[in-house]
Amino acid sequence: MNERRIRVLIAKPGLDGHDRGAKVVAYALRDAGMEVIYTGLRQNVEHIAEVALQEDVDAIGLSILSGAHLSLTRRLKEALGERANEIAILVGGTIAHQEIPAMLEAGASAVFPTGTALAEVVGGVRAAVEKRKDDR
């Protein structure tokens, strides 16, 4: 029986114009066997949610360097509406370790501060998606 590959949307919300890290993570997830969709730079949260729902993704990876990670995560969870509990929201970027509990409370399934090893990101995506499936 063929199991569907994990589908991940990688997005750069807001005005942040640096996407090298997002692309590196996208390649790592792809190389790990996941299907990756990249939205490109400067996307608004509503568009990210719309694409995620249209593409029926298992997870959304937000790459945020601007410092607006908490508000953007909350807004994304709200924009996903009733499907918010079905899609893992993963946030990476410039995030202080002391802010991680607030990020998890805001709706992030996992948080990956700058410098997180790619193997940890891949494992974290898999774990978050599996947890969402188990919770259904």
* Tens of pLDDT, residues 17-67: 889 999 999 999 999 999 999 999 999 999 999 999 999 999 999 999 888
Q: Count CB neighbours of 43 within 10 A.
A: 15
What is the spatial distance between Cα 65 and Cα 53, in angstroms, rounded to a whole number? 24
Sheet holding 88-93, edge to edge: 35-38, 7-11, 59-64, 88-93, 110-113
H-helix or E-strand containing 132?
helix 118-135
The radius of gyration of the chain from alpha carbons, rounded to an integer in Å, stands at 13
pTM, two decimals, is 0.95
For residue 128, which amino acid is it?
A: A
CATH superfamily entry for domain 7-135: Cobalamin-binding domain (3.40.50.280)
Q: What is the pLDDT of residue 4?
A: 85
Q: What is the pLDDT of residues 80-125, one digit of tens each?
A: 999 999 999 999 999 999 999 999 999 999 999 999 999 999 999 9
How far from the centroid of its chain's Cα atoms is residue 72's Cα?
11
Residue whose token pair is 């942040």: 16
What is the spatial distance between Cα 42 and Cα 19, in angstroms, rounded to a whole number? 10
Instruction: Work out whether the CA dihedral 74, 81, 111, 40 comes out positive or negative.
Output: negative
Q: What is the pLDDT of residue 136?
A: 67
Tell me the domain boundaries of the chain: 7-135
